[in-house]
Amino acid sequence: MDNLFDATHQAMKLLVSGDQELWNIIGISFRVSTLAISLATIPALLVAFLLSYTNFPGRRFLIAIFNTLLSMPAVVVGLLFYLLLSRHGPLGNFKMLFSQSAMVIGQIALCFPLLVAMSHSSFQAADKRAWETARTLGAGPVRAVLTLMREVRFGLIAALLAGYGRIIAEVGASMMLGGNILHYTRNIPTAIALETSKGLFAQGIALGAVLLLLAFTLNASLHFFQGRGQSVS
């Protein structure tokens, strides 16, 4: 018990003192995950919209695939992209393995199905009259899609927050694709795994506290936006 208190005490000191190594790890985590979610969002929303508002052969199959991918373990995504990006893999020439770019790719693969599935549910739940009203009032396809997105924005924001929560806390893909290189690809989850394996708990607890704070912020935002959505519609 004393050990836990000591480690927590040291962790708080590390956080408050502005320990450069610790904040560097936090910075990498946020940079990689923010870039991944930014790149995934627009394509995912478009795919979700097309799955909701168009009819084409294989649409139901695609929806089933995205729903299945929701439960894909991060380590399996890591393994898949490791094989693709490794020197002898089909994308080996790009020499991206053990880089932040590889981590971004892995995280996009992780959050994309979640974004599509949750956004698809939001679009499906939207009143079809919203789309028809926009179109009949002269809105072009782009304006009508943007209008629809505005109508279901709380659901879409919830999808983004859930996606961000999934990738910033995942360890499997980041470890396999980033390689946990200090000052380059070491992010919060991989650092926690490493420090814990060395028996150095202070940094792990400090980073865990940051993740917990982030999880709390994301969940609080999610509740706020879901509440707004329910009260308006």
Partner 1 sequence: MTVHFTKMFKRFGNREILSGVDLILSENKCSILTGKNGAGKTTLMRICAGLEKPESGRILYEGTDESWGRYTGKLFQNTVYLHQQPYMFDGDVIHNLEFGLSKKMSRPDRKKKITEALEWAGLTEIAHNQAKTLSGGERQRVAITRAWLHEPDIMLLDEPTANMDNEARTRTVSLLQNLKKHNIIVLIATHEPEHFYSIADEWLVLTDGRIKNGELPVNRNSNVLQLHKLQYAQAFT
Shortest distance (Å) from residue 151 CB to partner 1:
6
Close Cβ partners of 157 (under 8 Å, ≥ 6 residues apart): 221, 225
Shortest distance (Å) from residue 204 CB to partner 1:
44
Give 1 or 232: the residue with its C-beta nearer to partner 1. 232
Give 21 or 132: the residue with its C-beta nearer to partner 1. 132
Shortest distance (Å) from residue 156 CB to partner 1:
13
Shortest distance (Å) from residue 129 CB to partner 1:
4
Cα separation, 1 vs 83, in Å, equals: 43
Binding positions for partner 1, rule: CB under 8 A? 127, 129-130, 132-139, 143, 147, 150-151, 232-233
Residue 206: both structure tokens together: 């400090």
Shortest distance (Å) from residue 230 CB to partner 1:
12
Give 122 or 187: the residue with its C-beta nearer to partner 1. 122
Give 152 or 173: the residue with its C-beta nearer to partner 1. 152
Planar angle of CA 80, 161, 16, nearest 5 degrees:
95
* Cβ pair 119, 156 in contact under 8 A: yes
DSSP symbol at 88:
T
Q: Specify burial of residue 7 (Cβ count, 10 A radius: 0-12, 13-18, 19+).
A: middle
Give 40 or 157: the residue with its C-beta nearer to partner 1. 157
Distances (CA, A) of 160 to 74, 86, 166, 198: 18, 30, 10, 34
